[in-house]
Amino acid sequence: MGFFSSVLIIVAVLSLVKVSILLLRKAGDKKANSLLSIFFFIVFLYSLQGFVIEAGYLKDLPWFYVWPLPIYALMHVVIFFYFKCILDKSITWKASYILLFIPFLLALLDVFLFSLKPATEKIAIINDAILNPADRFEKQYGLFALKEHFLIRYTWSLFALALIWIKFMPLLLNKGLEKHQKTTNKWILSFLIVLSAIVFSTFLLVLQNCYPLSLVIIGVHYSKILTVLFVGFILLSALPFYFPNTLYGFFEAKVQLEGLKNDVQALKICKSEDDKIKFGLDIEIFKDKLNKFENEQLYLSQNFDINVLASYLEIPIHHLSYFLNQHYNLSFAAYRNKLRMEHAIKLIQEGFLCESTIEALAWECGFVSRSAFSKTFKAVIGDNPSDYAAKFQLAF
């Protein structure tokens, strides 16, 4: 197995893992997650077919050759609508978007024309691809050769990415963003740079196939383009999974901040609206889930930590930390202690210490030791448990 084949199978496997995770993800914008999962499925299919051809397995899988061509022509369409969904929070169809589907329609037509060819001619084309994989780009499927389909597809991909960059540039130029928004910028910028590098590198390689002197004229070395392409594919597969959630509704919040930046009071209102769409969380639904969690008193378990709560709420840990800080002005530890101390006070007021010890009260409230419980109780309430119980009994 060659180096190129190894890269392709690694990318295929990692892309399939991403598809699975994105489809199972319950947090964030479902539409954006679905679009991104489709994109990575196309990357998986594309890499797998490339591996089958480059590693010499096409002779065993001759059916895995022509039919995916229209699917690959949808890659730029999916990624365009993914970023539309992320940056605009919704997708509104426009008649001009039909232009994005031109490579798909041409590929679909050529696959249909290829299916009409005599069986002997189809077998000959596939056999040539098996014996001489590099020559397959010259084969005429219908109206176009494979290399011309590549040129059309990646020209359209560059156009789609240019539109995305134009939409994203105001975010990069805005210096008044908050810390979490700047972090978001880094992730979306990383994703866009990697995508752009892959598309532009492939475009240059296709240009070289169609017009052999093109790379010589522009002074670009073939080996350098391949290096960028390989590194790009690996990075695309290795980017973290959580960042798509952080982009949900982000552009809308940025526009609001820009429009109200000179009005302090309005800026505070806008920040509140930004909080509602941060990380793609529906605040009211999230609070309902948190109330349900509190009613079940799962925080009284001695194993209760931030991982348990994040798993219960089905969101990443950093999203949970952000939410507690912004809407309750508490860290996770302070939130947990608050709930446990409220439960401790309730038990004391119901006469728990009249029949049991402080050790038993500590255990009942989720603590493993009396000392840890007493220290936390004094820090939150201002008294030791025994002193508080005595004062409460005197008051009544």
Nearest-angstrom CA–CA distance, 111 and 63: 13
pLDDT by 10-residue block (mean), the chain, 396 residues: 76 85 70 86 89 84 87 93 78 88 94 90 84 78 87 92 86 56 65 86 79 56 65 69 40 38 40 45 74 88 86 78 84 91 90 86 90 90 86 64
Provide Rg for the chain, Cα atoms: 29
pLDDT in the model for residue 266: 39
Burial letters for 261-273: b for 16+ Cβ neighbours within 10 Å, e otherwise?
eeeeeebeebbee
pLDDT in the model for residue 262: 42
pLDDT in the model for residue 103: 94
> Do 256 and 274 touch, CB atoms closer than 8 A?
yes
pLDDT in the model for residue 339: 92
Q: Domain map of the chain by residue range?
A: 3-252, 281-395
pLDDT in the model for residue 107: 94
Place of tokens 């199978």: 9
pTM: 0.61
- Domain 281-395: homologous superfamily in CATH: Homeodomain-like (1.10.10.60)
| Residues shown for the chain | 396
DSSP labels, 275-301 = HHHGGG--HHHHHHHHHHHHHHTGGGS
Amino acid at 78: V
Q: Residue 36's closest CA among 236, 315, 249?
A: 236
